[in-house]
Amino acid sequence: MDVLIKEFMDKIITRNQHEPEFLQAVQEVAESIIPFIEDHPKYKEHKILERIAEPERIITFRVPWLNDQGEVEINRGFRVQMNSAIGPYKGGLRFHPSVNQSILKFLAFEQVFKNSLTGLPMGGGKGGSDFDPKGRSNNEVMKFCQSFMTELYRHIHADIDVPAGDIGVGAREIGYLFGQYKRIQGEFTGILTGKAAEFGGSLIRPEATGYGVVYFAEEMLKTRGELLEGKTVVVSGSGNVAQYTVEKCIQVGAKVVTLSDSGGFIYDPKGIDESKLAYIKELKNVRRGRIEEYAKKFDCEYFEGEKPWRVKCDVAFPDATQNELDAKDALTLVQNGCFCVAEGANMPCTLDAVRVFDSARILYAPGKASNAGGVAVSGLEMSQNSLRISWSRDEVDSRLKQIMHQIHGACVKNGRLDKDFVDYTKGANISGFIKVADAMIAQGYV
Ligand code: NDP
Ligand code: 2IT
C-alpha cells in the first residue's frame, strides 16, 4: 500500500512542486483513500483521486486600490474553483499576507471533502488575497474589498460559486464585498454567505464553526462515556472560530484557560467567563487589538511568541491556523493528559502531530469533519436566500447540531479501526469522498 501511495504522491509532487501545504493535504487524504480505492476498483478506473487533486479552475487577478494617503497599492486576488460535482463551488475568502496558491489549493481541496460531509449540495472552493487588513482603516478595507469584487464578480453567482469568510474576512468585509457585487450586477441574490442578518444572513452563521466544533467534541467524548462539562480546555486563536468555541464551552460548563493570537497566548487559570468573553469580542472585533491586552485587564499571564499547547488540559481546540501544532506539541499535550483534540482551524495539526495522537489512541478529529459547522450553516443560508425566508436561531442551531451528529456518525462508520478506536481522519476522508466520487463518475469526464 505504501508503494501505491508513494507512486500517487510522486505524480502530485511533480505537478505541484512548490506547494507544501497543498501536498500535505493531499498526502493525508491519499493515505486513507488509496487503500479504499484498492477495494473499490471503479474509483481507480475513473482516476477519481487524480481528478479531485486537480482544480477545475484557478483565477488569479490584480487588485489595485488607493490607500488613505492616496497611494496606489497592489495586491493579488485568487479564487480556486476546486470541484463542482455535487453543487456550486463553496468556501471562504482569506485575507492574510501569507496567502498564496498553495495555501488556497490546500483549503479548497479540504473544502471538497468537508462540504460533502455536511450532506448539503455544495462543491469546494476557496479564495482570498495577500491583503493584510491589520492596521488598515475601515475606508481602506472598503476600497480593497470593492476592487477585489470588481474582478471576482464575473466568476461567482448563487448557482456557480458562493464565497464566505475565513481568516481576515468577517462581517465587515462580507458587507463591503456584497455591496460592490450588488452595485455592479444590479442584483440582490445570495452570492456570499456570512452576510449580516439585515440583508440575508443566517442567524447562527457567526457562531456556527465554533459551536459546531464543540458539538462535535461532545459527540467524540460520548464515545468514551465522557462529557465536556467540568473539563479544562485549551483554545488557540481569538478570532471568529475561537470566540464561539469559548462561548459554547462556557454554556456547557467547561473551563477554557487559554486564547492566543499571532503575538502569543494568555493563560487564565480561573477560566474565561461570559464577561471576559464579551471583552474579547469587543477587543478583537471592534477595537481590533491584541490578546496581550486581556492579560493586563484580567491580571493573568501572557506568553509572548508562544503557543498554548504546554498548558495542562483535557481537551484542545486548535482554532487559529494551519500547522500551528507540531509533533512536539502533540507529545506535550498527550503527556499532560489531553485526550481529545478537535480542530476548529483547517489543518492546524501537522501530519506528524496527528501520528502522535493516533499512536496514543486519543480522540482526534480533522477540521474537515469537526469545523464543518460553519460551511454547513452557510449552506443553510443559501437555502434561506433561495426561499426568501429566514429561520429562527433555534431552527438553525438544531439543524447545525443534527449535521454535526450526522458527520460524527459517518466518521465512526467508515473510520472505526477496532472496538475502542475510531480513526476520524480515515472516516471523514472516505465518507466525504464517496458522494463526490460517485457524482463524478455519473457526470463523465468533465
Ligand atoms: P479570524 O481572522 O477571525 O481569526 C484568526 C485567528 O487566528 C486570530 O486570532 C489570528 O491572530 C490567528 N492567526 C491567524 N494566522 C496566524 C498565524 N500565522 N499564526 C498565529 N496565529 C494566527 O479567522 P477565523 O477564526 O475565521 O479562522 C480561524 C481558522 O478557522 C482558520 O484556519 C480558518 O480557515 C478556519 N475556519 C474558519 C471558518 C469560519 O467560518 N470562519 C470555518 C471553518 C474553518 P492575529 O489576529 O494575530 O493574526
Ligand atoms: O473553512 C471553511 O469551511 C470556511 N471558512 C467557511 C466556508 C463557508 O463557505 O462558509
Domain boundaries, the chain: 57-189, 208-370
**Closest listed ligand to the CA of 344:** 1
**Per-residue pLDDT at 139:** 98
Whether 233 and 256 have beta carbons less than 8 Å apart is answered as: yes
How far is CA 112 from each of CA 32, 49, 199, 401, rounded to the nearest angstrom? 15, 12, 27, 21
Cα of 437 to ligand 1 centre, how many Å? 30
pLDDT in tens, the chain (446 residues): 899 999 999 999 999 999 999 999 999 999 999 999 999 999 999 999 999 999 999 999 999 999 999 999 999 999 999 999 999 999 999 999 999 999 999 999 999 999 999 999 999 999 999 999 999 999 999 999 999 999 999 999 999 999 999 999 999 999 999 999 999 999 999 999 999 999 999 999 999 999 999 999 999 999 999 999 999 999 999 999 999 999 999 999 999 999 999 999 999 999 999 999 999 999 999 999 999 999 999 999 999 999 999 999 999 999 999 999 999 999 999 999 999 999 999 999 999 999 999 999 999 999 999 999 999 999 999 999 999 999 999 999 999 999 999 999 999 999 999 999 999 999 999 999 999 999 999 999 99
* Residues annotated as catalytic (active site), given as ranges: 126
**Per-residue pLDDT at 1:** 83
Whether 240 and 168 have beta carbons less than 8 Å apart is answered as: no
Between CA 67 and CA 73 the distance in angstroms is 7
- Across 156-174, b (16+ Cβ under 10 Å) vs e yields bbeeebbbbbbbbbbbbbb
Cα of 165 to ligand 2 centre, how many Å? 6
Q: Is the CB of 285 under 6 A from ligand 1?
A: no
- What are the helix (H) ranges across 299-346? 327-335
The cell for 119 is 450532506
Q: Where are the beta strands (DSSP E) in 201-305?
A: 232-235, 255-261, 264-267, 301-304
Cα of 318 to ligand 1 centre, how many Å? 10
The cell for 77 is 486576488
Q: Is the CB of 202 under 6 A from ligand 1?
A: no
**In this structure, how many other beta carbons lie within 10 angstroms of the beta carbon of residue 413?**
12
**Per-residue pLDDT at 394:** 98
The amino acid sitting at 335 is Q
Cα of 40 to ligand 2 centre, how many Å? 30
Residue nearest atom 4 of ligand 2, based on CA coordinates: 92
Residue nearest atom 9 of ligand 2, based on CA coordinates: 91
The cell for 210 is 465554533
Q: Is the CB of 165 under 6 A from ligand 1?
A: yes
Whether 89 and 124 have beta carbons less than 8 Å apart is answered as: yes
Q: Tell me which residue of 278, 286, 343, 276 sits closest to 315, measured CA to CA.
A: 343
Q: Is the CB of 169 under 6 A from ligand 2?
A: no
**Closest listed ligand to the CA of 346:** 1
**Per-residue pLDDT at 360:** 98
Q: For a substitution probing ligand 1, which of 241, 284, 304 has the most ligand atoms within 8 Å of its CB?
A: 241
Q: For residue 70, how far is the Cα from the chain centroid?
A: 35
Cα of 265 to ligand 1 centre, how many Å? 14
For helices 101-117 and 424-443, angle between their N-to-C axes, nearest 10 degrees: 90
Q: For a substitution probing ligand 1, which of 93, 107, 141, 167 has the most ligand atoms within 8 Å of its CB?
A: 167
DSSP 149-201: HHHHGGG-BTTTEEEE-BTTB-HHHHHHHHHHHHHHH---S--SSS--GGGTP
Q: Which CATH number fits domain 208-370: 3.40.980.10, 3.40.50.720, 3.40.50.11310, 3.30.2020.10?
A: 3.40.50.720
At the fourth CATH level, the homologous superfamily of domain 57-189 is Leucine Dehydrogenase, chain A, domain 1 (3.40.50.10860)
Cα of 377 to ligand 2 centre, how many Å? 9
Between CA 221 and CA 315 the distance in angstroms is 10
* Atom from ligand 2 closest to the CA of residue 115: 3
Sign of CA dihedral 215, 217, 222, 228: negative
Q: For a substitution probing ligand 2, which of 21, 375, 404 has the most ligand atoms within 8 Å of its CB?
A: 375
Q: Tell me which residue of 273, 293, 275 sits closest to 283, measured CA to CA.
A: 293
